Structure 1
Amino acid sequence: MDAFDEVRPAVECLDLLVPPVAAAVRDWGGSVPATDLLYVDTDPERADTAVLVKHYGPWLLEQSANCVVVAARRAGTTTLAACLVLGHTRADVNGVVRRHLGARKASFAPMDTALAATGMEYGGITPIGLPADWPVLMDAAVADSPHLIIGSGSRRGKLIVPGKALAELPGAVVLAGLGG
């Protein structure tokens, strides 16, 4: 993560995080110490993975993970879930996600729904700080990664987090083949 000018423990940057992410970092209880969750300040114009990669270099794509919110529907009920896949892959929403959630139909949640439900900004949604009752579906490659760059809840800033820490999040389910 040498490309970033300043890397600090996220627990030292709570004032830079949106409330649900700051609360999750402050109350961190996983086997990975909270001090291993890192924060880097980035330009909000570079929040999208493709733009971030263009600025910092192609190596970043292999070390990034994207979090998307999915709406799964069955019998008139909608369930929101998060999907976390490596930056160079896409979540198999219509296959793996739909089947795992037992839904008749699954699709990306509308942006206004995702933002209202998470308390986060578009382009910065992260699995850290999501509602505790949400499934957090993640590709096995995410869980196996030593460190990943993910959103921080806002367009400004990124978190650098061990895959093991992500696999221990509330509601986390590691699925082979989620990212394709």
Structure 2
Amino acid sequence: MTIVFLNGSLNPASTTRKLLEEVQTLLQKARYETDIINIGELDLPLFHPVRPAGAAADWLRERISSAEGLVVGSPEYHGSYSGALKNAIDYLDKDLLKGKPVGLLTSTGGLKGGINTLNGMRTVFRSLSAHAIPQQLAVSRKEYKDFILTEDCQKTLEQFVIGLDEALQHQAVAAHILLK
């Protein structure tokens, strides 16, 4: 099974990217194929509903269409997720995401941050008929040093991966039953 990661940070040294890589490592150990897409490298034009999408948007849709699940990460900007991520999501539709498990994570500046970012992403993915898993991950700068996560944060990350794995396995069983 393939899982596509969407990195909503434009910062090449982003903590969001590092967090996605931590999740990626655990999922690869569980024998998932993974692919991280850095939104900032796609050069997506600002979404416009009547203009042609272009090659970058077509490529993004194809990658997501072929994946069994997603992990979406964004830094917290002013209590929400990045505009670059929202722009990329605007190129997607329900047909691409219907029923797909989606894990949501954010990197934040403070210990209490992230919940609005996660809730915002959850709302958008629900409106696209995706299955945003209940497990989520918000990591602040105070929960790691040189990107070594605290013990509690590492446990939350592991529960996040377990939740995504369970949702993907459930989806695979359901698809098998429907195909009979």
TM-score by length of 2: 0.27
More helix per residue: 1 or 2? 2
Indicate the structure whose relative CO is greater, using CA pairs within 8 Å and at least 6 residues apart.
1
TM-score by length of 1: 0.27
